[in-house]
Amino acid sequence: MKRVIVICRTEDSPNISSLVKDITYMRSEYAKLTRFSILVPDEDLDNFISKIQQSLEFMDKSTIVEVFSPDFVISPALNGTIQEERKKRKIERSPVEKLIESAEDSADISRDTLALAAIASMVALIGLFLNNVGIIIGAMLLAPLLGPIYAFAITTTTGNRHLVVTCLRTILIFLTAIILIAFVTTFILSMVFDLPLTSEILSRTTPAPIYIIMAILLGFAIILALSTGIPESVAGVAVAAALLPPAAVVGISLALYPSGAFGALVLTMENVAGLMAGSVVGAMALQVTPRSYREKMNARTMLYRILWMLIVLIILLVFLSILPL
């Protein structure tokens, strides 16, 4: 349940009154202003905010809309609504503005996240050489790879071209850093130790179309998971599992097994493209779009272009994965 506070000029209040006639609300007058305190079910919030914004489009700029979550609500009028919500068990989604804000925070790279990616790469390297799945999973927990994939999906469906480019740059920097760290570390260690090509390494040098399908499903699942409040650490493991070990194997292969580097790179790109495509489809399924008509049209144009680019990339990767390496 959310509480929406709307403060507007008294002469503009009929526009709001027409929207809340079937909703539980309180109204109060302050001089020339009217204040509405409205209780809105979580699953109705996006639709309600859209209607509010349309009603306020030509109103005074001093109008204020505030949304927050009360600790609890006790009201006989709401008992039936609450019980009905529990029976329906609808999926609770974050409002569009909240999703966009979190995407903006996750789109860019920082020293901390880059350092974390470097540490995760080193840990994954150890796990791969020791053939230890537990250590590799530990590296996945550290890798900050979820943020840019999630942000890419949200900013694509909302039409933010600048942030889409930022997300792509961040993903490229992360993967390049992981590959370089793995390559340099492996090259140095190979001069001192006899490093084995374990099954965990060799299994990630053979791409296949099935990995794209897996990545698409993972991408779709993480968007759905994050929108329903599942912790980022859980969803992040799925992304890191698809990106961190294959990228590290690219670096290892460049140093020890050059003939396997191309296959590992194709596998990494399959996972990247699949995660992007799946996450975008997930955001589309959740109807994460701008609220105004003009922004929706611009976002739709950019969305279709990116989807076509991803489709072409996936087809190319499928072709490369079936070539004899």
Query: Within this chain, do residues 144 and 211 fall inside the same structural domain, yes or no?
Result: yes
Amino acid 91: pLDDT: 45
**Two tokens at 293?**
């008509």
What's the domain count of the chain? 2
Q: Indicate whether 64 and 203 sit together in one domain.
A: no
Reported as a single tens digit per residue, the pLDDT across 248-280 is 999 999 999 999 999 999 999 999 999 999 999
pLDDT digits (tens, 9 = 90+) for 100-152: 777 777 888 888 889 999 999 999 999 999 999 989 988 888 888 888 998 99
Minimal CA–CA distance to 142: which of 172, 178, 168? 178
Q: Are residues 84 and 194 in the same domain?
A: no
**CA-closest candidate to residue 300, choices 283, 315, 319:** 283
Q: Residue 46 sits in which domain range?
A: 2-88
Do residue 102 and residue 172 come from a single domain? yes
State yes or no: pLDDT of 65 exceeds 90.
no
Q: Is 179 in the same domain as 101?
A: yes
> Are 84 and 100 in a shared domain?
no
Q: What are phi and psi of 40, to 5 degrees?
A: -125, 130
Last residue in a domain, options 88, 105, 125: 88
- Judgement on whether residues 192 and 298 belong to the same structural domain of the protein: yes
Q: Are residues 11 and 137 in the same domain?
A: no
Same domain, 185 and 102: yes
CB within 8 Å of 117: residues ≥ 6 apart: 143, 144, 145, 174, 177, 178
Residue at which a domain ends, from 67, 88, 109: 88
